[in-house]
Amino acid sequence: PPAPAKAMPEPPVPADLNGVLTRLERSVRQRLPRGVKYRVSLLPELWTSDADPSAARTLVLALVAEAGREIKSGGQLVLGTRNYAFDEASLAETPGAEMGEFVRLTVRDSGPGLSDEALDQVFDAELTRRPAVAQAAETMRQLGGFIRVESAEGVGTAVHLYLPRAKAEPAATDEAAAAAAAE
């Protein structure tokens, strides 16, 4: 008999990462010490991403829990989203960035921040003070994205996860574009 046909993998369903973060509010608050303020700053017209929503959720919750251990009462944690397109000019201004369009998820804390030495070691799983960041870097590579960390002692740390923008727009958008082209 002929070999069974291999099923074609389903194309990824573009993820609404604002929706993913909005549904995490309760879980985020549970990971923060009492007295730590929490807010979100979500871009209303955020692009969709082909990244696995459960992977994004896991990364964000691990980063929040780690940041929560650093923040004192009266501090703040902010989750944010933005759209970012990197071209050759912006690559030169953004160390570690990659060419393309990305959805950025940010976990920003007002903790003690990292020294220059600790920031240099942040992605080294054996030396880092922030193991969730080192793990996130590996996961981001698997998801086709990248990670950047900004930190200043006495100010706090921002971890930016750059997930690739969805390659295919939702069907409704394709239909609307086809209708517009036909006119």
State the Cα–Cα distance between residues 77 and 36, nearest whole angstrom: 7
Model confidence pLDDT, tens digit, residues 47-79:
999 899 999 999 999 999 999 999 999 999 999
Confidence of residue 90 (pLDDT cuts 50, 70, 90): confident
pLDDT tens, residue by residue, 107-117: 999 999 999 99
Helix, strand, or coil (residue 139): helix
Please count the other Cβ atoms lying within 10 Å of the Cβ belonging to residue 147: 22
Q: At what angle do helices 131-142 and 53-70 cross, to 10 degrees?
A: 160
pLDDT-derived band at 148 (thresholds 50, 70, 90) equals very high
Residue range 3-59, pLDDT digits in tens: 555 555 555 578 899 999 999 999 999 999 999 999 999 999 999 998 999 999 999
Distance in angstroms (rounded) separating the CA atoms of residues 74 and 109? 11
Confidence (pLDDT) at 3: 57
183: confidence class by pLDDT, cuts 50, 70, 90: very low
